[in-house]
Chain A
Amino acid sequence: MQTLAPVDVVIVGSGWSGMIMGKEIASRTPLSVLVLEKGGGFRGLAAYGREMDEVDTFIRKRQAESPANGLVTTRASSRARANPIRQYGDFPWVGCGMGGSSDHWGATSPRFMPEAFEIATHLKRLHGASKLPPNNLIQDYGITWTDIEPYYTQAEEMMGTSGKAGNLNGKKIEGGNIFEGPRSREYPNPPHPMLYAPQLFAKAAKELGYHPFPMPSSTLSQSYTNPDGISRIGCQYCGHCSLFGCMVGAKASPNFTLLPIALTKKGFSVRTHCNVRRVVHKGAKAVGVIYVDDSGTEYMQPADAVVLAAWTFNNARLLMLSGIGEQYDPMTGKGTLGKNATYAVHVGLEFFLDRPQNIFMGSGGMATAIGDFGGDLGDEGAAEGALRGGLIFCYTQGDPPVISAFGVIPDGEVKQNWGGEWKNAAVKWSDRYGTFLSTENHFPYRQNYLDLDPNYKDKWGDPLLRVTMDWTDAERKQAAFISRKQVEIAKIMGAIAINPRPVPSATSGPPLMVNNHSHGGAIMGASPASSVVNPYLQHWNIHNLWVVGGSALPQGEEHLTLTVAALAYRAADAFINVYLKQPGALA
C-alpha cells in the first residue's frame, strides 16, 4: 500500500457537512485540507440540464450510489435475518459524487423546534419519565437553541433559504411559523409563490384556527448573492428538483455555494473516486485514512486530523470497521456506537380536486405548512399516547412530474391497477391531486440500532452496515393522531376524495426503514457514557477525529439538512477557534 504525502486535515465526503468543514478550515486557516469523495466530480450546470430525464435520473438513479457496491442490510428485529437493499425502487437513494445527497436534495429547510435539542429534559418535565414510551433512549443533544441559532442563520444565508420568519427575536409574526424558535434574522429571501392547492390548504387551516406558512426552502425565490459573494439566479420551477441537480444553480448545493470558494484557497484540494475504508488510529490518535480507488488500489493518506462526513450511516460504519468506540449491544445496553438509530415518522395523504393543478410546475420544498402540531401534541395527543408531531404540509408538484406521479386514484375507485378502467381513472386524476406529508419526530429505542452485518459485504469485501429497526405503538399512535388532523384539513379544503394513510411511513416501512432521512449511529451528547461525539462533534476518545452529519442526531426529526449544516458550522468554529489553538478535548 502506497503512503501518500501527509495533509493537515482529511475530510471524508463532500456533502454539506464535509464541504462546510472544508471550506471554513481552508478559508480561515493556513492548513492543508483534502476532501475525499467516493463518487465522481462536479459535472457542471449543463450536465444537470441534460439529466432532466425521469427514466435515467429519477427511476434508474444514475447519479446516485450504485446499489451494486453494497448499501446496507435491514431487518425489523434482532431475531430476524437481515436482507440487503438490492435495488432502488423499494428504497429511496443515497447520493454519490461531489456534493453527495446535498447536490440533489429536495431543499426543504425548516429549523428544528427549540426544545428538540433538550428533548429528554423537556418531555420528562412535561409528562414525567413514566409517560415516555417503553425502552426509549430519548436524550438531549448537549446544546441548546441559543448555541445553534447563529449557525442556523449562517446556513440559511449561505444557502439563500426562502421563507418567512414567524418569530423574530421573540416577536411572533403571522404568516411565518409562529411556533418556531426565536430567530435572530429574517430569511435571506422571501418565500416562493403559493400554488393553487396549497392556497386552499392555507385557507382551510386558518378556518380551523391553525397558522399556515410557506415551507422554508433552500431554492432561491429570486436572484441572490450570499455573504461569501456567490451569486445565483432564482428558481425556474422546472419540476425536476428532488433527486435532480439544478441546471441553473438555484437550489443550494455545496457545489454551488462552497466548492467555488474552497477551490480558490491554496490549501484546499479534492480527490474523487476515493472510497475510504478505514480510519487508522494509534492509541487515542487518528493518523489518517485508508482508501481504495476505482481500480482497487489502496492508499494510506496520513493526516493530523480526520473529519468523517460521509452518509449518516456510513459515518457509523466507518467507525465500526475501524474499531473505534464500543459497539452498542441492545441486550446489555452497553456501548454507544450504533445506538439511537432513527428514521422519521412519515404520515401522508393524497387529496383529489376537481381542477387541474399543473403538477409539473414547482420546486422541491415548495409547500404550505402548519406548525401547530410541529412539536408537542398537547393534552389531546398525550391522552392517546402521541407526544410529538411534525409540520403538516401540502404540495402539488409531482416532482418529478410524470411517470412517478402517474396512477394516483381515489381508494376503491377501480378494482385493479391495470386495464382500461384503471387507465381512464389514472388519466382523469393525473393532474387533479395533491399530497399532504408530515415528517415527524421519531424516538430512539433500545431495540433500534446499527451494527455490522455478518453475511453481506460491499464491493471491497467489507461488511455492510446492518440496520435493525421497527415502529412501536408510540409511532402508530402518533401517525393516527396526525393523520386525523390531516384529514380534517383536507375535508375543509373541498377535496372530492381523500386517501388517508393513518400509519407511519408514506414512503418505506419496516424492514426498509432507512433512507436519506436516517439519523443517528454516532450521536452527540453531553456525556461519553451515552454518546459517541461531544457537543462539538469531536470524538470523545480520539480528539483529532470529528464525526459530522446526520449521524450525530440522537432523535429522528423534521427534515434534517439545515440542522446538519448548522451543526457542521458549529463544529468548524470549534475546530478553528478552540481546538487548533489547543489540541485536546473540547468537552
Chain B
Amino acid sequence: MKRREFIELSAQGMGGLLIYSLTGRPVVANAHEGKVRVPLRFFTEKEAKVVVAACERIFPANESGPGATQAGVVVYIDHQLAGPYGTDKYRYTQPPFDESAPGYGYQGKENPQEIYRAGVQKLGDDFTELDGPKQDARLKAIEHTYFFRLLRQHTIEGMFCDPMHGGNANLIGWQLLGYPGPQMSYREQIGKYNGVPYRIKPQSLEQILGYPIHPWEDEEKG
C-alpha cells in the first residue's frame, strides 16, 4: 500500500485569523504558531513542496496581499488531480492524437496527473532550495508548456475557489478581491452601488446554504 504522504503548511495561512478591512485589504491579525499537516491524495510530499514553491512564484504574497501558499493552493491542486479531472474521466481520449495542429488547445494523450508528475519533475528536486529569481528562471523556461498553463490556471482557481475544494483557505482570496462569496441575493443592493464598493464579509457556499456539501472530486474519485 502507498505510504500516506502529508504536506506541512504554515498555520498562518490555513488557520490564522484574517481581519477583514473595508478597502478589501486583508490583514493577518493573529497568526498561530506551528504547522498544519495536510494529508495528500495525489502528490508525494516532495512533489507538493515543489508545487507550493512554484505557485508562490506565480501568485506571491506581497504588498497587494496574501498569495498561493497562504491560500492552500497546493491542496486544491492535489484534490483536483486525485478526482475525476485528474484522470481525464470526462475528456475525449480517443486516438489519433494530433498535437501539431495549432488552435485546438491541448490535444495530447497525457492526463493532468501525468502532466503534473512529469512537469514537477522537470522543475527539479532542488527547486525548493533555489532563491526567487532562480525559481522564476526555471518557470520562465517552461512558460510555453501545457504544464505551466495548467499550473497557472490552477493557481488562480486555488486562490479563488470555494474553500470546499481545498484552496482559498479562510476565504483569503475572496477577501483579497472583496468578493462576498456565492450570495443568494443582491436584490436589495442592485442599482444602489453605482461605482461604490459593496463589501461584506465573505461566506463560503456551505455557510450560505447552511448544510454540508461536497465537491465533485470527493463524490467521484478519479
Contacts and interface: CB of A to CB of B under 8 A. Distances in A.
Interface stretch (A52-60, A137-145, A442-450, A567-575): A52-60
A10 interface: no
Given A55-B215, A196-B195, A238 B91 contact: no
Given A55-B215, A406-B177, 10 more contacts: A49-B209, A54-B161, A54-B182, A85-B92, A89-B105, A247-B184, A418-B58, A420-B60, A427-B65, A512-B104
A456 B94 contact: yes
Interface string A258-290: 000000000000000000000000000000000
Contacts of A87: 90-92, 105-106
A417 B193 CA distance: 31
Contacts of B34: none
A543 B51 CA distance: 61
Given A55-B157, A406-B156, A356 B195 contact: yes
B160 interface: yes
A431 B160 CA distance: 14
Interface string A504-545: 000001111000000000000000000000000000000000
Contacts of B106: 86-87, 90
A70 B94 contact: yes
**Size category of the binding interface on chain A:** 35 or more
A241 B60 CA distance: 31
Kindly name the residue among A50, A60, A90, A91 whose own CB sees the greatest number of chain B CB atoms within 10 A: A60
B191 A194 contact: yes
A358 interface: yes
A31 B201 CA distance: 55
Interface residue tally on B, bucketed by range: 35 or more
Given A83-B104, A194-B191, A356 B196 contact: yes
Given A49-B209, A356-B196, A401-B179, A90 B190 contact: no
B190 A237 contact: yes
Contact of B98 (A81, A91, A423): A81
27 contacts: A50-B205, A54-B182, A56-B215, A67-B91, A67-B92, A69-B92, A70-B94, A83-B98, A86-B105, A86-B107, A193-B190, A193-B191, A195-B190, A196-B193, A237-B187, A353-B195, A358-B193, A361-B189, A362-B186, A406-B160, A419-B58, A420-B62, A423-B64, A431-B178, A455-B96, A511-B103, A512-B105
A206 interface: no
A70 B184 contact: no
The B interface, classified by DSSP as helix, strand, loop or mixed, is: loop
B209 A50 contact: yes
Interface of B: 57-60, 62-65, 67, 85, 88-94, 96, 98, 101, 103-107, 136, 139, 143, 152, 155-157, 160-162, 164-165, 174, 176-180, 182-187, 189-191, 193-198, 205, 209, 213, 215-216
A497 to B, nearest CB: 17
B186 A236 contact: yes
B182 A52 contact: yes
Contacts of A428: 64
A567 to B, nearest CB: 31
Contacts of B205: 50, 52-53
- B57, B67, B161 pick with most chain A CB within 10 angstroms: B161
A427 B64 contact: yes
B105 A402 contact: no
Contact of A418 (B59, B177, B178): B59
Contacts of A402: 160, 174, 177, 179
A195 B156 CA distance: 27
A510 B177 contact: no
Contacts of A248: 184
B87 to A, nearest CB: 11
Nearest to B96: A455
Interface in A338-392: 353, 355-358, 360-362
A59 B91 contact: no
Contact of B185 (A66, A236, A358, A403): A236
Given A49-B209, A80-B101, A195-B191, A54 B92 contact: no
Nearest to A50: B213
Contact of B94 (A84, A89, A238): A84
A180 B122 CA distance: 59
B85 to A, nearest CB: 6
A507 B198 CA distance: 29
Contacts of A55: 157, 161-162, 165, 215-216
A419 B57 contact: yes
Contacts of A358: 189, 193, 197-198
Contacts of A70: 92, 94
